[in-house]
Amino acid sequence: MQQLLKKSLFGLGLLSLVQTAMADVQAVAELQKRLELVNQYSADFDQTVRSSKGKEIQKGKGTFQVKRPNLFRMDTKIPQENTIISDGKTLWFYDPFVAQVTANWVSDAVNNTPFVLLTSNNKDHWDRYDVQQNIDSFTLKPKSKKSGIKQFDVRIDSNGLMKGFSTIERDGQSNLYVLRNISTASIANDLFKFNVPKGVELDDQRTKTNKK
């Protein structure tokens, strides 16, 4: 009797794992399908940063551009200017305040920069996250324990209209981005190219890993 009970519990546990895996696959497929409905868009964003206790610690504003596949750009204007650009191979982070640019291979940055997934069809990138769906909200959690991101939430409707996204870091701090003034007008590829400004220090992390 006890052995039968153990087998039943094992079977239920295995069934639960299978169902969870299937739900994850379905959520990934649905999110990818929605993302592919709109190939390019521009938007303004409002950012709210909160501490792990929920206290608002910063407000921000900026612009966001996406062009599939693999191109995105985020320019924060307030409170301090910085720029993040993916040109498909390299992820650039430019902080003019400290006159420094950091460059990483996109494939190396996926675990800590889930924004990459908004434009990527790369299976390897998506395999690094567990995905769950709740109507028009998708929750992505990195599988790597080394990731500084605990959770990435995307709000996108069935027509592919992106409403916003948010991140929760390992320390509990959250960043909420709400998109507005969304436009699907054509975006020039040059917008996603980055040249290191004269006099700016380049921290090139790409030299520390093999090219992806």
Residue 28 or residue 14, greater confidence: 28
**Which top CATH class is 2-208?**
mainly beta
Which helix (H) or strand (E) segment holds residue 159: the answer is none
pLDDT in tens, 18-71: 444 455 899 999 999 999 999 999 999 999 999 999 999 999 999 999 999 999
What's the residue count for the chain?
A: 212
Q: Does 3 score more than 80 pLDDT?
A: no
CA angle 73, 79, 85 (to 5 degrees): 15
Residue (of 128, 151, 147, 156) closest to 32 by Cα position: 156
Q: Are 132 and 23 in contact (CB under 8 A)?
A: yes
Predicted local distance difference test score (pLDDT) of residue 210:
61
Question: What is the rounded average pLDDT of the residues 140-150?
Answer: 94
Sheet containing strand 149-156, edge to edge, reads 129-134, 137-142, 149-156, 162-169, 174-183, 40-50, 56-67, 71-78, 82-86, 90-95, 100-105, 201-204
Predicted local distance difference test score (pLDDT) of residue 17:
39
CA–CA dist 147, 110 (Å, integer): 9
Predicted local distance difference test score (pLDDT) of residue 20:
44
Q: What is the pTM of this model?
A: 0.84
pLDDT in tens, 117-142: 999 999 999 999 999 999 999 999 99
pLDDT confidence bin for 1, thresholds 50/70/90? low
Which helix (H) or strand (E) segment holds residue 105: the answer is strand 100-105
pLDDT in tens, 77-109: 999 999 999 999 999 999 999 999 999 999 999
- Residue ranges per domain, the chain? 2-208
Question: What is the rounded average pLDDT of the residues 2-28?
Answer: 58
